Amino acid sequence: MEGASEPLLDAKSGVTNQLIDFQWKLGMAVSSDSCRSLKYPYVAVMLKMADPSGQVKNKSFEMTIPQFQNFYRQFKEIAAVIETV
């Protein structure tokens, strides 16, 4: 993620986790131990976060396409609200 260096006056950096990096990939599952023939697209997200003490943690999750579309819609709404602030 491009360095968006927050000013140290940010009150939250001592309380919540900070997002350091947001990686994603689009994949297609073609076979699994429970189902041999699949055509299942998904979005995988890997977040890199630092907790208030500075320790870096990775968290990853997957979304189906409908789940991702819902996910995307949330961010569109957030962006829209920010415009009005």
Partner 1 sequence: MLAGENCLPAKMLLDLSEEHREHLAFLPQVDSAVVAEFGRIAVEFLRRGSNPKIYEGAARKLNVSSDTVQHGVEGLTYLLTESSKLMISELDFQDSVFVLGFSEELNKLLLQLYLDNRREIRTILSELAPDLPSYHSLEWRLDVQLASRSLRQQIKPAVTIKLHLNQNGDHNTKVLQTDPATLLHLVQQLEQALEEMKTNHCRRVVRNIK
Token pair 């699949």: residue: 38
Among positions 48-77, residues that touch partner 1 (CB under 8 A) are: 60
| Measured distance CA(24)–CA(71) in Å, rounded | 13
Q: Give the Cα separation of 2 and 70 in Å (integer).
A: 25
Of the two residues 31 and 64, which places its CB atom closer to partner 1 in the complex?
Answer: 31
Query: Considering only 30-38, 47-55, 65-73, 77-85, which stretch makes contact with partner 1 by CB under 8 A?
Result: 30-38
d(CA 43, CA 61): 8
> Which of these segments, 8-16, 22-30, 50-58, 70-78, binds partner 1 (CB under 8 A)?
22-30
Q: For binding to partner 1 (CB under 8 A), which residues are involved?
A: 22-34, 41, 60
